[in-house]
Amino acid sequence: MKTVKKEIEKIRNEMNQDQYYLHCQYIMGILAVKIKIIGEQLVLRNKRDVIQNVSQRIKTPESIYAKMLRKNLEPEFSLAKEKLNDLIGIRIVCLFLDDVYEIAEMLKKQKDIKVIKEKDYIVKPKKNGYMSLHLIVEIPVCMGDKVEMKKVEIQIRTTAMDFWSVLEYQLLYKKNVKGADKVGKELKSYSDEIAALDQKMLKLRNRIESI
């Protein structure tokens, strides 16, 4: 047990190096500007609200440690920087299903964003019902006289999917508790309902726009 704590502390110390913190600040700042402009372009194009919320997080030492173990990798921060794609995560929540793909297209068109992986958990949700579009991208960090490419995971989802995922997140922390299994099944069934709702709302919006 003591070793776990020590290893996590080691990761925390390496993350507290100024340079890592500044790199993260830089990347999150630049992407926030790009997403804001994309949002304003979509408002002008679609004549309605599109992006509802943008949030950012840096993966915690605890969470890095756990993920490295799950992947059977040494829990070293230097290795994590190489192997994990989601040390920096950005979440974009939008209103409608087609907004998700429109935002993704606009991100992919940016000359200085390189998409290295795309996972569509909307077309094919995770086993537990989780839905979102994930882009793993690389963006250049020009902080001093050198340029480094850094990976970021961008999650794009509708408000309905985001609502669902709040319960999934709460359940995650009660994984092995008695009763969790049954609740998990019910939560999964709601995921289908959320998907159906998103489809119906989208169709109705299209009809309103066409009358």
Q: What phi, psi does 126 have (nearest 5°)?
A: -65, 165
Contacting range for a second copy; rule: CB under 8 A; set: 1-9, 59-67, 71-79, 111-119: 111-119
User: Does residue 42 sit in helix, strand or coil?
Assistant: helix
Shortest reach from residue 150's CB to a second copy, in Å: 13
- Establish if 149 lies at the interface with a second copy (CB under 8 A): no
DSSP secondary structure string for all residues of 62-90: HHHHHHHHHTT----HHHHHHH-S-SEEE
- Give the separation between CA 113 and CA 37, rounded to whole angstroms: 15
Q: Which amino acid is at 208?
A: I
- Establish if 208 lies at the interface with a second copy (CB under 8 A): yes
All residues at 6 or more sequence positions from 137 whose CB lies less than 8 Å from its CB, including other chains: 107, 113, 114, 115, 116, 151, 152, 154
- Establish if 46 lies at the interface with a second copy (CB under 8 A): no
Name which position in 33, 87, 102, 153 contacts a second copy (CB under 8 A): 33
Shortest reach from residue 75's CB to a second copy, in Å: 27
Q: Between the CA of residue 125 and those of 16, 113, 170, 188, 193, what are the distances in Å?
A: 35, 25, 18, 10, 13
Contacting range for a second copy; rule: CB under 8 A; set: 3-11, 108-116, 117-125, 130-138: 108-116
Written as six digits, the tokens of 197 are: 């709702």
Size of the site for a second copy (CB under 8 A): 61
Q: Between the CA of residue 162 and those of 78, 167, 178, 194, what are the distances in Å?
A: 32, 9, 26, 10
Contacting range for a second copy; rule: CB under 8 A; set: 2-10, 69-77, 102-110, 114-122: 102-110
- Establish if 162 lies at the interface with a second copy (CB under 8 A): yes
Minimum CB distance to a second copy smaller for 29 or for 60: 29
- Establish if 18 lies at the interface with a second copy (CB under 8 A): yes
Contacting range for a second copy; rule: CB under 8 A; set: 61-69, 118-126, 129-137, 189-197: 189-197
C-beta separation of 107 from 135 below 8 A: yes
- Give the separation between CA 210 and CA 204, rounded to whole angstroms: 10
Binding site for a second copy (CB under 8 A): 18, 22, 25-26, 29-30, 32-34, 36-37, 40-41, 44, 48-49, 52-53, 95, 106, 109-113, 140, 142-147, 159-160, 162-164, 166-167, 170-171, 174, 177-180, 183, 186-187, 190, 193-194, 197, 200-201, 204-205, 207-209, 211
